[in-house]
Amino acid sequence: MKLSIVTTLYYSEPYLDEFYRRIIISVQKITSDYELIYVNDGSPDQVLNLALEQQKNDSKITLIDLSRNFGHHQAGMIGLNQATGDSIFLIDCDLEEAPELLEKFWTEYSKNNHIDVFFGVQASRKGKWFERHSGSLFYSLFNKLSTVKMPANMLTVRLMSKRFVTALLEYQEKNLFLGGLMCHAGFEQQAITVKKSSKPTSSYTLTKLLSLFTTSIVSFSSKPLEFILYLGFLLIGLSSLTTMFLLCNIIFSFTDTASDLQLILLSICFLSGIIISCTGILGIYLAKIYDEVKQRPRAIIKKVYHSK
């Protein structure tokens, strides 16, 4: 098979019909040898039934229904694992990334056979002030903390060779940060600047975004642990200086006892906050390790619907 198109479904009911119409128009300009893979990530709306209706009229649709919501990145990996094409186009179906990008990506892909991945990046981030600046801060922190460097404003949409996807599927992490893994996998990759539109709401809540940020840092950097070590050395030095200062006060009575007690209490509060924060960082790493060693599957497929 020449081309696989993979997309995930989660609260996608308002967008799926238009996505299907537009992606089919684009792919048929390229080839008639294709498949369209939907991965229903436990969506609570009626998008599963809508996808099944589409499948009745299109034998090229394969629908993978997960047993519950496992997450965008996990569902994406399930879809890539099911793809059989020599080339795989991954895109979100919420229309923020135009389905017509397939044509643009395919043109570049066809002219550059040595490049395994063409991926989309935004020239500038969309959205309101918080979305724009928090995203910029994320990429800046990730690239400073991680040895794996990731292009700023990277998007889901990408066209990949089969050999790249095969290599990507060798990663067995359960705590997935797909963008980081794609950069870590290597191969020849090239960015294409695209425009991303906005929709009124997003399934990525602030809690999910913070969880993704934590996963990305813990998965690709040990620098927070190094920070704890250096902080420990610093606190030992500060504690030694404070102890010497207090002893001098007691011996030479530079200040009264009340001032000494206030300084001690302040130091205890400060050190307690540092200890709790460091323990939290260590706890996050241990929790991620615990998740990995349990060897649970990334996601569970409830049913695969093939066209009859």
* pLDDT one-digit tens code per residue, 152-188: 788 889 999 999 999 989 888 877 777 778 888 888 8
pLDDT value for 227: 74
pLDDT value for 184: 81
Quick one: how far is CA 198 from the chain centroid? Answer: 19
Over the chain (308 residues), the average pLDDT of each successive run of 10 is: 90 92 93 93 90 90 91 90 93 90 91 89 67 67 76 86 92 79 85 77 63 71 71 69 68 58 65 71 72 76 83
pLDDT value for 4: 94
Cβ atoms of 56 and 305 within 8 Å: the answer is: no
pLDDT value for 262: 61
pLDDT value for 86: 92
193: β partners: 121
Mean pLDDT of the chain: 80
* Residues making up the chain, counted from first to last: 308
Backbone angles phi, psi at 78, to 5 degrees: -60, -45
Cβ atoms of 118 and 124 within 8 Å: the answer is: no
Alpha helices in the chain (DSSP H): 13-28, 47-57, 72-82, 101-111, 129-145, 162-168, 178-184, 206-220, 223-252, 257-293
pLDDT tens profile 129-147: 556 666 667 777 777 777 7
Instruction: Please tell me whether residue 34 adopts helix, strand or coil conformation.
Output: strand
pLDDT value for 164: 93
pLDDT value for 103: 92
**What's the whole-model pTM score?**
0.75
Tokens read off for 209: 């975004």
**Annotated domain spans of the chain:** 3-134+151-201+298-305, 223-293
CATH class of 3-134+151-201+298-305: alpha beta
Q: Rounded distance, CA 52 to CA 38, Å?
A: 10
pLDDT value for 305: 86
